[in-house]
Amino acid sequence: MVALRSILFQLYFALISAAMTISFLPALLAPRSWTVGGIRLWGRATLWGLKAICGLRYEIRGMEHLAGGPAVIAGKHQAMWDTVALPVVVKDPALVLKRQLLRVPLYGWYALKARMIALDRGAHATALRSLLKQGKDRIAAGRSIAIFPEGTRKKPGAPTDYKPGVAALYTQLGVRCVPFALNSGYFWRGWKRYPGTIVIQFLPAIAPGLKRAEFMARLEGDIEAATAALAPGA
pLDDT in tens, 76-124: 999 999 999 999 999 999 999 988 888 888 889 999 999 999 987 665 7
| CATH of the domain spanning 58-229 | 3.40.1130.10
Cβ atoms of 143 and 72 closer than 8 Å = no
The percentage of residues in the chain with a pLDDT greater than 90, rounded to a whole number, is 88
Select from 7, 158, 138 the least CA-distant residue to 77: 158
pLDDT in tens, 134-172: 999 999 999 999 999 998 999 999 999 999 999 999 999
The answer on pLDDT for 194 being more than 90 is yes
Contacts of residue 60, defined as CB under 8 A and 6 or more positions apart, other chains included, come to 89, 199, 200, 201, 202
Sign of CA dihedral 105, 43, 183, 220: positive
Which amino acid is it at 71?
Answer: A
Contacts of residue 104, defined as CB under 8 A and 6 or more positions apart, other chains included, come to none
| 164 or 205: which leads in pLDDT | 205
First CA to last CA distance, the chain: 26
Return the SS3 of 205. Answer: coil
